[in-house]
Amino acid sequence: MQHTRPITKLFLAGSLAVAPFTLAACGDDTAGPEEGVSVGDIQEDDGVEEGMEEDGIDAGAEAGLGYDGLYDSAFYEERTGYVGQEVTVSATVNEVFGPNSFTIAGTEETSVEPLLIVGAEMAGALEEGEVVQVTGTVQEAFEEVAVEEELGLDLTDDAYGDFENAEYIVADSVDTTVPTEDE
């Protein structure tokens, strides 16, 4: 006859009941370092810099992810933050200047200034009022002669006075098969 103590049985039963919870707590520790670290330090380590939300700059934009959406007030107000980044904007063709340049207008709900698009080989085939999706890189300050030399284009003279030193997009592609709100 085997003789066990009641305390031993109770200890074993308690250990078996708690074991699954103890093991689950050991995996994938996401708590970070225990001492001397603030929430801001952890956010910076994750690629989110302190103050970016307050400055109105999208964390994805700072990480080089750019913008993908409507050409509206939100994009227009933050356009300088996208300089050097590839973006995709959907808008209506405002004015066509020639085979390699046109402007887009904001949505009906906004009153943003037209944005210059250059480098799009199909610009001459576009019509004013047509909905397009433009993918390209936001540039800092438009200067007609410099852009012509850099891109090897012959832009229409005297059409760009309103855009001198303003942000613009050098288009990689222009998609005219964008569904409108009515579709």
The per-residue pLDDT for range 45-70, each reduced to its tens digit, is 444 344 443 444 444 444 456 999 99
For residues 89 and 74, give the distance between their C-alpha atoms in angstroms, rounded to a whole number: 11
For residue 2, what pLDDT band results from cuts at 50, 70 and 90? Answer: low
CB atoms within 10 A of CB 144: 19
Tens of pLDDT, residues 144-165: 999 999 999 998 878 899 999 9
Q: Where are the domains of the chain?
A: 66-175
Phi/psi zone of residue 51: left (φ > 0), alpha (ψ -120 to 50 degrees), beta? Answer: left
**Lowest model confidence (mean pLDDT) among 18-22, 79-83, 130-134:** 18-22
Average pLDDT of span 75-80: 94
pLDDT at 178: 76
One-letter-per-residue 3-state SS of 110-169:
CCCCCEEEECCCCHHHCCCCCEEEEEEEEECCECHHHHHHHHCCCCCCCCCHHHECCCEE
Dihedral angle, C-alpha 160, 89, 130, 124, nearest 10 °: 50
Long-range CB contacts for residues 101-104, cutoff 8 Å, separation at least 24: 101/153, 101/155, 101/156, 101/159, 101/160, 102/126, 103/163, 104/71, 104/132, 104/134
Tens of pLDDT, residues 91-134: 999 999 999 999 999 877 778 999 999 997 888 899 999 999 99
Protein fold of 66-175: OB fold (Dihydrolipoamide Acetyltransferase, E2P) (2.40.50)
For residues 160 and 26, give the distance between their C-alpha atoms in angstroms, rounded to a whole number: 63
Where is pLDDT greater, at 58 or 88? 88
For residues 143 and 39, give the distance between their C-alpha atoms in angstroms, rounded to a whole number: 44
Contact of 112 with 79, CB cutoff 8 Å: no
Phi/psi zone of residue 154: left (φ > 0), alpha (ψ -120 to 50 degrees), beta? Answer: beta
- Residue 115 bridge partners (DSSP): 104
